[in-house]
Amino acid sequence: MYPGSCFGRKGDNVTEEKSKYIIVGASAAGMAAAHTIRLHDRQGSVTVLSEEPDTPYFRPLIPFVVSGKKRAEDMVLSGCGPYTGRDIFVRTEARVESVNTAEKTVSVQGSGVLAYEKILFATGSRPYIPPEIKGTDTKGVFALRTLAHARNMAKRVKTSDHAVMLGGGLLNLKAAFALLERGLKVTLVVYSPEVLSQLMEPEDAFLIRKAMDTAGLKIKTGCAATHIISEHTGVTGVALDHGGEMSCRMVCIGKGVRPNVEFLNGTNVWIDGGIVTDRYTACSAPDAFAAGDVAVTFKPGSGDRIMTALWTNAVEMGRCAGRNMAGVKTAYSGTLGILNATQVAEEPFVSMGVVHTKDRDFEVYRHATDTTYRKVVFNPQGTRLMGAVFIGDITNAGLYRYVIRGKMPVMHIKRYIMDHTLHYGHVMTGKM
């Protein structure tokens, strides 16, 4: 439980008919905003509405529920990091059906209407299920996104011997290794020439691929599924576009995500893929804000519009939105596009900023050993750091992010960046 906070479920009459602040969505952005509001406004009522049955939790940890390494109670957003605020009412099983931005009300499925003074849309995203794949509604087909999904996958493991993963994104890879830990045979099917194609180029991924091979993950590249084969017990196989089939008892689809914006149909909230925000996280409706996966924000430097589905970005944006809602005007510093720090098959890696450089005009430096790989990307003039990939040795990766995001001139520290010896003193003082 959050210190001094309370929880309710569908039908509870704990909340008021009006809340000063309503937050729709209880994941990274929504909870970071709620607790930031409480730092700046000790009195105003804060109500968080979540359509999930579980109290807020660390979504990146859900593969550990599949592997059995963690329980749901180990994952709650309880008194840690940015989630330490008091007196926040979290309503679970509270699905918002519609919003009236003129009257400042939200309609909650089965629970009537709530009024607000200020509202944050932090509804996140849902898995994209390609319509061209037939049979995805079959028992034993999953798209890992929620704690409920993870529980159901863990149950299916007991009657499965082989799982097929469709898509080579990060969450699908984590799910694959969770299933390997449970003793299943796992095959990854990706249309791209290599895994993690959004985070690095194929030639960057050789150490990751080596670690996957060592762990026993089978990978099929350059092909895609056309339909799920099934019988009365659920999934029995997957048909591929080249005419082949694979037998399996479980399928997990990781083909990207789509923002949850349907509840805003008919409102004056500007939607362009997601909810378009200004530099203060405000959207086009009065006293309304957006943050996290559902928000269309911008890249620092270029100002190009961008959407990301990263926990760290969602937390930063949620904090910024919380300050603005509480009356502390704060500009959001922008989203650094790709920025992932994690590990796959015990191989740590970081990918940030510009990482795709083929046929593009960048200055690129690479260095590889048997156990490490690094790639740093500079602008064409070689005066600014634009992106980086580190595999194996991710020491001081946060400093590189700081340099990229701050658009710092790097000529005085360039050799340290290339040698991977950059440290805090170089960045702060600029000394050679």
Dump pLDDT digits (tens) for 315-339: 999 999 999 999 999 999 877 656 6
Q: Residues 19-73: pLDDT tens digits?
A: 999 999 999 999 999 999 999 999 999 999 999 999 999 998 999 999 999 998 8
Judge if 6-126+258-325 and 141-255 fold alike in CATH terms: yes
pLDDT > 90 in the chain, percent: 70
Does 107 score more than 90 pLDDT?
A: yes
Tell me the sheet residues that pair with 185. 162
CATH fourth-level superfamily of 6-126+258-325: FAD/NAD(P)-binding domain (3.50.50.60)
Residue 309 confidence class, pLDDT cut points 50, 70, 90: confident
- Tell me the three-class secondary structure of the chain, residue by residue: CCCCCEEECCCCCCCCCEEEEEEECCCHHHHHHHHHHHHHCCCCCEEEECCCCCCCECHHHHHHHHHCCCCHHHCECCCECCECCCCCEEECCCCEEEEECCCCEEEECCCEEEEEEEEEECCCEEECCCCCCECCCCCCEECCCCHHHHHHHHHHHCCCCEEEEECCCHHHHHHHHHHHHCCCEEEEEECCCCCCCCCCCHHHCHHHHHHHHHHCCEEEECCCEEEEEEECCEEEEEEECCCCEEECCEEEECCCEEECCHHHCCCCCCEECEEECCCCCECCCCCEEECHHHEEEECCCCCCEECCCCHHHHHHHHHHHHHHHCCCCCCCCCCCCCEEEEEECCEEEEEEECCCCCCCCCEEEEEECCCCEEEEEECCCCCEEEEEEEECCCCCHHHHHHHHHCCCECCCCHHHHHHCCCCHHHHHHCCC
Residue 170 confidence class, pLDDT cut points 50, 70, 90: confident
Q: Residues 69-103: pLDDT tens digits?
A: 999 888 888 655 556 566 899 999 999 999 999 99
What is the average pLDDT value for the chain, to the nearest integer? 89
Does 141 score more than 70 pLDDT?
A: yes
User: Looking at per-residue confidence, does 312 or 413 come out higher?
Assistant: 413
Does 418 score more than 80 pLDDT?
A: yes
Q: Residues 216-243: pLDDT tens digits?
A: 999 998 999 999 999 999 999 999 998 8
pLDDT > 70 in the chain, percent: 91
Residue 13 confidence class, pLDDT cut points 50, 70, 90: very low
CATH number corresponding to 141-255: 3.50.50.60
Does 295 score more than 70 pLDDT?
A: yes
Q: Residues 117-138: pLDDT tens digits?
A: 999 999 999 999 999 999 999 9
Class of domain 346-429: alpha beta
Residue 16 confidence class, pLDDT cut points 50, 70, 90: very low
pTM for the complete prediction? 0.87
Q: Residues 183-214: pLDDT tens digits?
A: 999 999 999 887 888 889 988 989 998 999 99
Residue 271 confidence class, pLDDT cut points 50, 70, 90: very high
Does 431 score more than 50 pLDDT?
A: no
Residue 147 confidence class, pLDDT cut points 50, 70, 90: very high
Give the residue extent of every domain in the chain.
Answer: 6-126+258-325, 141-255, 346-429
